[in-house]
A and B are shown apart, each in its own frame.
Chain A
């Protein structure tokens, strides 16, 4: 399913629960959407870098199973952005449902 433009919001949502690395973020999004939101994982990192440039997430080095990994965690600004995105999505989703629901 094409969900262009919503990937940053989904990343922030995935990071809301706990800091995570790229691979786990991708798997979380796929699992929580029950496979509907299937995206190419190479596009995840540019979105993460953009969020980092905007100060919405920050990264740090961590270790998982003896391997160094880059972890990402959501910042205060990211939390505020997520709150706004959620409200915007509910509004849009309600409006689209009102139109498509009539068909």
Chain B
């Protein structure tokens, strides 16, 4: 393994396969140009290789910077899996309808509970339906610009936070461990999507990044 291979291995740690390929190509080109320039300047081949490698700097620092601008393997996996889910839902109109029917069904159940006198249970079901509505309605809403996407995300998180506050009320603090544990995957997902949004130009955003 050459010095350049070691440098590349460290600089591309945790990057996706596509990002790694791109970094490898550009750094290889850069290294060769630097080495050729050093040889033209009178350096021996070994000295030129060392000079070209030194000029690249610290691989760990480069890795940190690459991870801020290129997709990591975890982000690429999320994008791939999210695309599969989106394709699954979008290619079957009945699934879209079913997703939209969930909050509607919850409202119907809540009404039935109110009529049956189970006011507390009806209240919880109704609030849950309102909280979940943006998540289920997302695939059919016309959200295809970054501006609409921002508005939708704000509405979504307001609905979720509002629903939780209404359901748990004063007990929210006592049950915070449960809330944190159950909301963590959702928050992590949102955080990763925000990171992907920063790294991909808007023209390359798949539908799932808008919601």
Given contacts A40-B57, A42-B58, contact A69 B198 (CB under 8 A): no
Q: How far is the CB of A65 from chain B (nearest CB, A)?
A: 9
Q: How far is the CB of A66 from chain B (nearest CB, A)?
A: 12
Contacts between chains A and B (CB distance < 8 A), count: 68
B178 contacts chain A at the CB level, 8 A cutoff: no
List the one stretch of B65-73, B122-130, B137-145 in contact with chain A.
B65-73
- Chain B contacts for A23, CB-based, 8 A: 29-30, 33-34
Would you give 28 A-B contacts (Cβ < 8 Å), ordered by A?
A22-B29, A23-B30, A23-B33, A23-B34, A39-B57, A40-B56, A40-B61, A41-B57, A42-B7, A42-B11, A42-B27, A42-B56, A42-B59, A42-B61, A42-B62, A43-B57, A43-B61, A45-B62, A45-B66, A46-B65, A47-B65, A49-B69, A52-B201, A53-B199, A55-B201, A67-B29, A68-B29, A70-B29
Known: A42-B27, A53-B199; 8 extra A-B contacts, CB below 8 A, are A22-B30, A26-B30, A40-B55, A40-B57, A41-B56, A43-B62, A53-B69, A69-B29
Interface residues of chain B, those whose CB is within 8 Å of chain A, are 7, 11, 23, 25-27, 29-30, 32-34, 55-59, 61-62, 65-66, 68-70, 198-201
